[in-house]
Structure 1
């Protein structure tokens, strides 16, 4: 934890407090990924589980003292990817190099590649983040990615 700056600790404490829903000084480990993402981290589900997150609510509680080393480790994790990395991946589907890709290809990518999403999760992401398809079924992928990464 000594590698966290004073500012990092203040930000982590604030984010932690938001997810301390009952004021007990603890958060549900189910929300670990949400807290880390609120701190501009982008951990995969596997990373969250490795760091102590749970898949079900109520299984485990984390105190701030337990959370800070987890946050420190998440900050060090280089296997997260950033906007530019994901943008480069989506450019592979941009056959005309005009910032557009088929909406169907994006949906397929979310379902089939990397850390695969369930149908319901893809529907929610598409509904919330994807611009409407044009007459050819194309969507601008950069705005989609920005919405997803926020």
Structure 2
């Protein structure tokens, strides 16, 4: 844990507290991926499981002391990709090299490639992140990707946070 800066620990503690739904000082290991994503990490499902995440709610609880080394390890993971990596992938679908791709191709990609999303997850991502299709069914993919990498996790984090009063 010594490789985490004071700011990293503060950010991790804040994200952890958002997912401590009952105020017990513990987070369900089922939510480990969500906490890591709230901290701008992009772990695969296999990585989450390797780091101690569970597939079912209620199987395991994590304290902040247990979470910090997990976060430290996730920060070191080089196999998670970034905006630029994903942008290069989506450019493969940009047949006219004009920053547009078919919305249907993007939806298919989310459903079929890599760690596949289910229909409900794709619908949520499309609703929250995709600009409306033009008359030809095309969407600008860079803004979609930027929302996915930057804003969507933050939006979900805000929704999970209790309102200050």
TM-score category, normalised to shorter length: over 0.9
Q: List aligned pairs for 1:67-106, cutoff 5 A.
A: 67-106=67-106
TM-score by length of 2: 0.86
Q: Distance in 2 between matches of 1:104 and 1:117?
A: 15
Which of structures 1 and 2 has the larger relative contact order (alpha carbons within 8 angstroms, sep 6+)?
2
TM-score by length of 1: 0.94
Alpha-carbon deviations, 1:117-150, whole Å to 9, x = none?
11221122112211111111111001111111xx
Where does the alignment leave 5 or more consecutive residues of structure 1 unmatched? none
SS in 2 for 1:84: helix
Q: Which runs of 4+ in 1 moved over 6 A?
A: none
Where does the alignment leave 5 or more consecutive residues of structure 2 unmatched? 149-165
Q: How many residues align?
A: 148
The match for 1:117 is: 117
Q: Distance in 2 between matches of 1:12 and 1:62?
A: 13
SS in 2 for 1:27: strand
For the aligned residue pairs, the C-alpha RMSD in angstroms reads 1.0
Q: Distance in 2 between matches of 1:99 and 1:125?
A: 19
Q: Distance in 2 between matches of 1:17 and 1:131?
A: 32
Measured after TM superposition, the shift of residue 82 of structure 1 is 0.5
Q: Distance in 2 between matches of 1:122 and 1:91?
A: 20
Measured after TM superposition, the shift of residue 35 of structure 1 is 0.9
SS in 2 for 1:94: coil
Q: Distance in 1 between matches of 2:128 and 2:71?
A: 28
Q: Distance in 2 between matches of 1:145 and 1:82?
A: 10
